[in-house]
Amino acid sequence: MVPAWYLAKALAAFALVTSVHGQYGKSADLPLLLDATAEELTAGLDAGDFTSVDLVHAYVGRILQVNSTLHMVTEINPDAWKIAKELDEERACGKTRGPLHGLPILIKNNIATADQMNNTAGSWSLVGARVPRDATVAAKLRAAGAILLGKANLSQWANFRSGNSSNGWSAYGGQTYGAYYPGQDPSGSSSGSGVSASLGLAFGTLGTETDGSILSPSQLNNIVGLKPTVGLTSRSLVIPISEHQDSVGPMARTVKDVAYILQAIVGPDRYDNYTSAIPWASKASNNSIPDYVAACTLDALRGKRIGVPRNAIGSRTNASAPIFDAFEAALGVLREAGATVVENTNYTAYTEYLNSTAEGTVLDGDFKPNLAAYLSQLTFNPQGVKTLKDVRNFTRTFPLEEYPSRDTASFDEALSLNFSNTDYEFWAAYQKDLYLGGEGGLLGALSRHDLDAVVLPSRSASGISAIIGAPVISVPLGALPPNTTVVKNERGTLNATAPNIPFGLAFAGAHWSEANLIGFAYAFEQRTNVRRKVKPYIEPSIELVDVVGA
C-alpha cells in the first residue's frame, strides 16, 4: 500500500543528513520522538530547530523501521511532504493556525479523507472507494494545521465482522502487534492508532470507539485515550457501527496532547445531527467551548468526589492481582491530590447489565442502516457494495478476506435481526440501555453520591458508559510484572497476557464532562508518570537529529 519510492525517499533523506547533523550542533536540544509532546515540538518549530517537513521525514522513517514487525500503519499520505512544506511556509510568514500547526497525526483506517488515501475499515471491498469530502474530524484537523500523515490499521470493521478473528487484524492491513512484548495482542479496534501513538510514529492519533475501541488499545499500549460523549465529535464519513454509540476521539502519549487534539475536533456539524446536542454549541450558552487544555491543572482533583463502583470492577485473582494492587495505590494518589474517594458507589443494575442483550440489539439494529448510509455517500464504489448483505457476500467470496477461517458472525447476527433502528423493539432495547447505564449504572451512582466522576481499572470502564454515550478517559497505570504467565488470545495467534503489557486507570463521568475528566487524568498522570517507566521491547531509532538539514 506504499510505493517503493517512499522508502527510497526516506532512506535518501537519512543518508544525506547523518553527514551534516553535527554541524548544526543542535542535536542535544531536539526532542526525542518516543515521548515528544505538542508543546515541545511546537517550541522547536517556532525556534527553527526543525521543520514540519523534518517531522514528516522522521516519523515516516520511524514507521518504516517497525512496520514490517508490527503492521500498525496501512498507508502513508503521499501528500504529507507537500502539506508540511506549505505549513512550514505559513509558519515562516508568522502565520500559525493553532497549537496543532505542522504536527503530523495518524488517523484510524475508518475515517475517510478526500485525498489519495483509502478508507477501508480494513476490507478489500472498499479499497479504491472515493468519498465526496473529508470526514468532518479530518477536515477539522487539517483546518487546525495538523498534517494527516497516514492511516492506522484496525481490527477489521472496527471488530464488527467476526466471532473468531483477532484484535488488530484486517484483511487489507494484516495483523497489528503491540510493542511491549513479542506478538503482543494490540487490543482493538483502534489497534494501529494505539501502537503508533505509543512508539512516537506521529505526534498523536485518532481512534473510534463503540464499546472499548479507544480505551482498550490505549491502556494496553501505554498511552492516554479519550472516548468523548457521543455527539461531541462528528461521525460524518467515518465508517460506522452504531450512531447511538460510535465516537471519534484522540489517542496520544500525554493527557495534554489528548486535550489539544480534542479541542481541534469537537463541535457541531450539519452532517451529524447528534452534534446538535452539544450544550455549549448554542447562542444561549454563548458558544462557550470548554478549554480542554486549560483543564490540565495539577490541582484538578482538589475537593472533587471520585467514586469507586466496586461491583463493576470484577474480583481479584492471581492473574489480575497486579492490576488491583496498582488500582488501590492509585486511589491513594487521588486522595493525596486532594480528592475524596467515595467507596462502594455501586451500580445498582450491574448484574442485570451483565446479563442484558440490549446493547447487541442496538448495535445490530444500527449497523445495517448506518453502514448503508455510509456506502450511499461514496462517489466511487469499485465493488458496488451498497448494503451489509453485499459486504458479507464480498467478505465470504474474496480470498484475501480469509473466510471462513475468520467468520462473519457479527454480520450474520446483524442481518438476522428482523427489525431496524426505527422499530419499537429497537427503541425498547435502547431505553433499557439508558436505564442500565443511567439510573441503574453510572448516572445513578454519580447523583446518589454527589460525585464528579468514578474511577476504575480501564479494562472495566467502557461498557456502562458506551451504552449511554458518556465519556471516559484512560491514562497509564502500570504494566504486568516479569513473572506473568504468557496467555494467548483465543485464536492462538497473539500473546494477550504477558510480562510488561501495560494497563490503565479510567475516569468516567456524565455526558459533556470531558474537561473534568481531562483534569483528573492530568492530575494523576503528572503525579505518577507511569508511561515513562514502562518501556517497549521494540522501538524505532530514527530521530529528528537524523533528518534535520536534509
Ligand X SMILES: *[C@@H]1O[C@H](CO)[C@@H](O)[C@H](O)[C@H]1NC(C)=O
Residues engaged in binding ligand X (CB under 6 A): 1-2, 63-64, 67-68, 71, 73-76, 78, 116-118, 127-128, 164, 173-175, 182-183, 271, 273, 285-286, 288, 310-311, 318, 344, 346, 351-352, 355, 390, 393-394, 397-398, 404-405, 407, 481, 483, 485-486, 491, 495
Which whole-number Å values give the CA distances from 129 to 123, 376, 395, in the listed order? Answer: 11, 11, 16
- Single out the catalytic residue among 108, 140, 256, 304: 108
User: Residue 49 or residue 75: which is nearer to ligand X going by CB?
Assistant: 75
User: Residue 403 or residue 507: which is nearer to ligand X going by CB?
Assistant: 403
Considering the complex, what minimum distance in angstroms separates the CB of residue 206 from ligand X? 17
- Single out the catalytic residue among 155, 189, 190, 320: 189
User: Residue 161 or residue 256: which is nearer to ligand X going by CB?
Assistant: 161
Considering the complex, what minimum distance in angstroms separates the CB of residue 250 from ligand X? 22
Q: Compute CA 202 distance to the chain's CA centroid, rounded to the nearest angstrom.
A: 13
Place of cell 475536533: 265
User: Residue 18 or residue 485: which is nearer to ligand X going by CB?
Assistant: 485
Distance between CA atoms of residues 161 and 170, nearest Å: 10
Distance between CA atoms of residues 193 and 173, nearest Å: 13
Active site residue 189: yes
> If we measure between CA atoms, which residue out of 358, 402, 412, 430 comes closest to residue 160?
412
Can you tell me whether residue 266 is helix, strand or coil? strand
Active site residue 320: no
> If we measure between CA atoms, which residue out of 338, 335, 304 comes closest to residue 449?
304
- Output phi, psi for 68, to 5 deg: -75, -20
Considering the complex, what minimum distance in angstroms separates the CB of residue 55 from ligand X? 17
Considering the complex, what minimum distance in angstroms separates the CB of residue 430 from ligand X? 17
3 state SS for 325-393: HHHHHHHHHHHHCCCEEECCCCCCCHHHHHCCCHHHHHHHHHHHHHHHHHHHCCCECCCCCCCHHHHHH
Nearest 5°: the CA angle 107, 110, 112 is: 75
Give me the long-range contacts of 383-386 (CB less than 8 A, separation at least 24): 383/124, 383/125, 383/126, 385/125, 385/126
Grid cell listed for 185: 495482542
DSSP-assigned beta bridge partners for residue 252: 224
Provide the annotated active-site residues. Answer: 108, 189, 213
